[in-house]
Structure formats: C-alpha cells, structure tokens
Amino acid sequence: MGNKTIYVKNEELWETAKSLAGKAGLSGFIEEALEQLVAAKQLKQKGLKRFHVRLVEPDEWGDDPTDEIRHIGFDGKRLVDRDELSVYLTKVGKFIVTDNRLDAGISGYRTYDQCVEVRKDEAITALEKDEQIRIWNSIVEGLPPDESFTWID
C-alpha cells in the first residue's frame, strides 16, 4: 500500500498522539482510530449504537458500596427505556432485557433469541397489563420492517 498524507492542524494533538502511540508508531494508531470511527458511523447509518451498560451485582447483604461492578457491551438499539427495565435489540438480532437501577446501572439482564421469548420475561409479566401492552408496542415499532408480526392473545 502506498503512503498516505494526513494533515493535522493541531500540533499539540499531533504530539500527544505520537507519545501515546509509542513504539508502534502513528500509522497503527491512526489505523485503529479510523477503524473505530468507521465502525461507529456504520452503526449510526443502520440506526444502531454501541452500548456499555454498568452491571452492579449486589452481594448477599444487599446494596453495598463494595458490590462488584462490571459492564456489558453490545451494538444495537434500545426499544424500551423505562425506570425499572429496558429492552434492546442487538445488531445480530438478539434481545436483551435489563433490570434498571436508579443509579444508572443495571442489576441484571436476560438475553433472548426471539421476540416471542421476551414476552415471557419475568420483569415484563410482573407489570400491569396496560404497561405490558405499551412495552409490546414499543418493541414492535422498533423492529425492522421484515420482522413485523401481530400479537394474538
């Protein structure tokens, strides 16, 4: 591959990038940055985004500042966003239902291969019927056109 010329007006940015790139050099650093930027733009064109969700697992004594904190990440879109739960559709077609916490984390999550499985999720079935209907409407509205269907009770 031939040489490529890149003009960077901000000298301080250029010098910081060079120091962060280290021995690997700026070529690899710039290539990695371009890959991330292209991936993010492609997701956005498809109506998707990258999610990093904070997962807080309470210890056996309840909510404690020493609880283990982890993250889950995926590419997709949020179909439902409520105080107590959210539903996501991932880029590969899986559904994720999260149990939301007020501190902007989640206390748990479940994944499903098909939308009909989401309907039986414990957090959703615990809601009032009207709330369940609102959630289903949001989910169906967010599905790609080739995946629409009709619920029959």
Q: What is the pLDDT of residue 60?
A: 42
- Of 61, 125, 54, 140, which Cα lies nearest the Cα of 95? 140
Task: Name the nearest CA neighbour of 71 among 46, 86, 54.
Answer: 54
Helix 25-45 × helix 11-21 angle, to 10°: 110
Look-up of token digits 């050099």: 25
State residue 61's pLDDT score: 41
Q: What is the pLDDT of residues 102-117, one digit of tens each?
A: 666 788 899 999 888 9
Instruction: Name the pairing type of β-strands 106-112 and 85-90.
Output: unpaired
The string of pLDDT tens digits covering residues 66-121 is: 556 678 889 999 999 988 899 999 988 899 999 987 666 788 899 999 888 998 99
Sign of CA dihedral 137, 134, 109, 115: negative
Give the per-residue pLDDT at 104.
66
Would the pLDDT of 59 be above 70? no
| DSSP designation for 22 | G
Q: What is the largest CA-CA distance in the chain?
A: 64
Whether residue 153 has pLDDT greater than 60: no
